[in-house]
Amino acid sequence: MIPGDFQFSKPSRQGMVKLAILGTFAFLVMALVVVLLVFVISAWLGRPVIFGYSEGPDQPIAFPHTKHVEELGLDCTFCHRNVALGESASIPAVGLCMTCHQNIGDEIPAVEKLRLAFEENRPIDWVRVHRLPDHVQFVHSAHVKRFSGTKTVVEIIKDPENQIRLKDAQRINPQIKLDETMQVTVSDVCVICHGEVGKMEKVKQIRPLKMGDCVDCHKNNAAPTDCSTCHF
């Protein structure tokens, strides 16, 4: 054999099996690392990268909030009647929808679906948009009570969650003074977490609703931050 030449021997069956096992193990480890990185990044950014919420889910009946809220001016409490009274905002029953649509909305496919569900005494299986972990208790009525009512402009300025309402007030009255008061409605409070639903074709989640988001809001508004506030 000439010095420098190499002779490649055929690997044994046992060696090939070991290489295959090592290769499979390395692939699984890399895949696990990638998955973990995706979830860590999504948690850090406050947005689920895999299960994103940039677009709202399709609902069994297309309910146009733009029509009911933006055009007709309905308040959130017209449909979500428990929002200021209890823990859950509540989804309206079909019968409540029919108080209007028994006589309004002929030849509209979504309304025909609604009427059929009412005739069959069948609830609408709405797809949930906003979801918190089961161990978190979010009491809607407590938040509505905290933010709604008569507020001075200076109170709103100090509350970073209310900057949208301050801009709205200035647009309505550019000369508004800091000691003037404005009425904050329940619908104004809903915008803090849910965004301007009345302008959405499909309702979507606009805030991460993670623990850090809630804690920051509580700190900014001098609300309790101990564990028993939300975990009880």
Whether 164 maps to a domain, the answer reads: yes
Residue 175 pLDDT? 63
Query: Percent of the chain beyond pLDDT 70?
Result: 76
Residue 51 pLDDT? 45
Tokens 């509540």 identify what position? 90
pLDDT tens profile 84-108:
999 999 999 999 999 999 999 998 9
Alpha-carbon distance of 16 to 22, in angstroms, equals 10
pLDDT tens profile 141-166:
999 998 888 777 666 655 555 555 55
Whether 62 maps to a domain, the answer reads: no
Q: Please say whether the beta carbons of 113 and 63 come within 8 A.
A: no
Residue 170 pLDDT? 59
Closest CA to 139 of 62, 223, 207: 223
Phi, psi values for residue 94, rounded to 5°: -60, -35
Residue 118 pLDDT? 95
pLDDT tens profile 183-195:
888 998 898 889 8
Whether 147 maps to a domain, the answer reads: yes
* Per-residue CA distances from 227 to 32, 43, 53, 144 (Å): 32, 20, 27, 21
Q: Please say whether the beta carbons of 201 and 66 come within 8 A.
A: yes
Average pLDDT, the chain: 81
Whether 123 maps to a domain, the answer reads: no
Question: Positive or negative, the Cα torsion across 96, 100, 106, 110?
Answer: negative
Q: Please say whether the beta carbons of 77 and 186 come within 8 A.
A: yes
The range of the structural domain enclosing residue 20 comes to 14-49
The domain tally of the chain equals 2
- Lowest-confidence segment of 5-14, 99-108, 205-214 by average pLDDT: 5-14
Whether 221 maps to a domain, the answer reads: yes
Q: What is the dihedral of CA 44, 45, 46, 52, to 10 degrees?
A: -120
Q: Which residues of 142-180 are buried (b: 16+ CB within 10 A; e: fewer)?
A: ebbeebbeebebeebeebebbeebbeebeeeeeeeeeee
Tokens 């499979």 identify what position? 24
Residue 166 pLDDT? 56
- In this predicted structure, the answer to whether residue 8 has a pLDDT above a threshold of 70 is no
Whether 99 maps to a domain, the answer reads: no
In 3-state terms, what secondary structure has residue 197?
helix
Whether 217 maps to a domain, the answer reads: yes
Of 30, 49, 68, the position where a domain reaches its end is 49
pLDDT tens profile 21-77:
888 988 999 999 988 887 766 655 544 444 445 578 899 998 999 999 989 999 999
